[in-house]
Structure 1
């Protein structure tokens, strides 16, 4: 039996009490919607509202006396300092797709349901319009909404730890000219949860990137080009789509491997099962290092001996639908990417009988 995507529904074990509101910063057009939403949540629904501290540092919010009583009720946090992962019932995003990616980055484990309002420049992942936000938020609080579970990637970066020793004026105590020394003193391990894609590229180097891709321990190919994108179905409509990949519905369990400008006429993007483990390493004969980023963030250099392991995470991002997973996706394809927009072909004119 294949599950109907529309059968996934939002259900609350108990009524939600706390909500995280994420607002795109440095955007004056979002100030009024942000204030209206927060006032509605606190005053009409008696909810505990969490807001990032830097959002409230905006002078337009900090100096608004009328908004003061609402602002005093907020719980604030700082990214990378405060852990709020166990205190949030659901998330509301105001902005573009970047706000949803940011919400994902805040939760490295289980993610609360996310309701995203389209107030940014793209809005492929943000199906809600703000005009009727009160009724829409109320429906979510009552549990009357469809869900799409957007798979994420669990990424583990293992680096050979190199200790750099800076020598003053490039001369050691014995008078020998020396560059910076690198000493291997173990391994450094970092983990990330990724909603869109992992991008490995050549960085500032003018040489081709040269990276080996392993699937479940077997070398499947070496990428020689500008780089490679490993993406989720959600990420298939982002950078991967620009690099020529197919667009995959978020309910499809899969991982996509898409080369970036490969120096090969036959290197087509491929789709592999969601259950595999991918590993990416610099090829032994690579002329230069590579660089990696995760949903466009945490960019860092990858050197010989370092590895990037990628699997499907057991913590998807539950995205609240405006209608249902299928309708919302095709609506986004049409509205944001103008998928298959073409002038209609005319039919043959019917000749009148003589």
Structure 2
């Protein structure tokens, strides 16, 4: 995949400034996608158990295999849908597919680009399949929410052809690199040890420190407990605050329009290099969401005097309990998600704000037509 794709800045480098401290701010619309060689393989991700997506899925796969001669990868559980299994006309196309299973098969170096059919959750799922470099993602809006899916399926043949031919605009959506460290005593409590012996050393190492790549947010909350959560937040080794409330959200700019926005945070364009920290119902009127620079390392732990444990989830998945002594380290990942734009990063983002969140939609005042300004 790395040999096939390259991302470059269409703005030519200028002569070095005389002042070495002068910065050059990159144009958000300057990221373009081109191919070193024509792409040959595509991963098609379809929202599972959604009957409305069967026909678009079939049409897309027929187009890719028969007209574009692409190698199509499809998740095995998608093809187990009875509507696909019993479709005899689709059988010849299905035989050409390469299949894989999540958490079992590594396809990271076999995919040139990805096509998502569904809503925002489908793109989040696509991101979770790649823990290192992510191929460019083309997302069609066929779900309930389409903030991250700018393409309409009505004219998919032309749009897919343009992507295959290259020169598409991109937005590089940063991800969070997360490490969850479990204390050994908590592993014993959770049943990883039996009779004082670790069942499997590899399993022990896997559970002690688990890694995730997160596109939207990491959520630490109080779970089923009736007590407020009480967690300490460290930034580059320094304690910056203790969160007492329902929890805290650590999000990317992409995630700033998701759960963080519902919790009162500002919305940040995905081109802005930042990490957002947003409290969930804090027990303090002065605790406002803050934005910190991308690249800092956050560490979150239960406070020593916390009355209860906490729970953590990653883009809404892999939910697990956090006990005393456990820690969660979060920083900016070096593996962003290259999302293919319908037009460009700026217009696509504001279109999504208007269509999905109805940003600043209001009834306008009537303009003056005569002597109204003299009347009250």
2:371, 2:74 → 1: CA distance?
Answer: 68
Deviation, 1:181, is 9.2
When normalised by structure 2's length, the TM-score is: 0.88
Question: Is 182-191 or 303-312 further displaced after alignment?
Answer: 182-191
Deviation, 1:134, is 0.2
| Paired position in structure 2 for 1:120 | 143
Q: Secondary structure, in 3 states, of the residue corresponding to 1:212?
A: strand
After TM superposition, list the pairs within 5 Å mapping 1:245-260 onto structure 2.
245-260=265-280
Q: Secondary structure, in 3 states, of the residue corresponding to 2:183?
A: strand
2:118, 2:171 → 1: CA distance?
Answer: 19
1:204, 1:251 → 2: CA distance?
Answer: 36
Query: Contact 1:163–1:183 (CA<8 Å) still a contact in 2?
Result: no
| Paired position in structure 1 for 2:358 | 338
- 1:277 pairs with 2:302: no
**Count of aligned positions:** 339
1:35, 1:199 → 2: CA distance?
Answer: 36
2:148, 2:116 → 1: CA distance?
Answer: 10
Q: After TM superposition, what 4+ stretches of structure 1 lie above 3 angstroms from structure 2?
A: 180-187
1:189, 1:12 → 2: CA distance?
Answer: 37
| Structure 1 unpaired stretches of 5+ | 167-179
| Structure 2 unpaired stretches of 5+ | 1-23, 199-203
1:289, 1:181 → 2: CA distance?
Answer: 25
| Paired position in structure 1 for 2:78 | 55
The RMSD of aligned alpha carbons is 1.7
1:48, 1:109 → 2: CA distance?
Answer: 22
| Paired position in structure 2 for 1:174 | none
Q: Secondary structure, in 3 states, of the residue corresponding to 2:35?
A: coil
Deviation, 1:275, is 1.6
- 1:163 pairs with 2:191: no
- 1:77 pairs with 2:75: no
- C-alpha change, 1:124 and 1:351, in structure 2 (3 Å) is same
| Paired position in structure 1 for 2:64 | 41
2:69, 2:317 → 1: CA distance?
Answer: 35
- 1:110 pairs with 2:124: no
1:210, 1:13 → 2: CA distance?
Answer: 51
Deviation, 1:99, is 0.5
Query: Deviation digits for residues 252-277 of structure 1, max 9, x if unmatched?
Result: 00000000000101000000000210
- C-alpha change, 1:206 and 1:181, in structure 2 (3 Å) is farther
Query: Deviation digits for residues 8-33 of structure 1, max 9, x if unmatched?
Result: 00111111000000000111110000
| Paired position in structure 1 for 2:263 | 243
Query: Contact 1:22–1:94 (CA<8 Å) still a contact in 2?
Result: yes
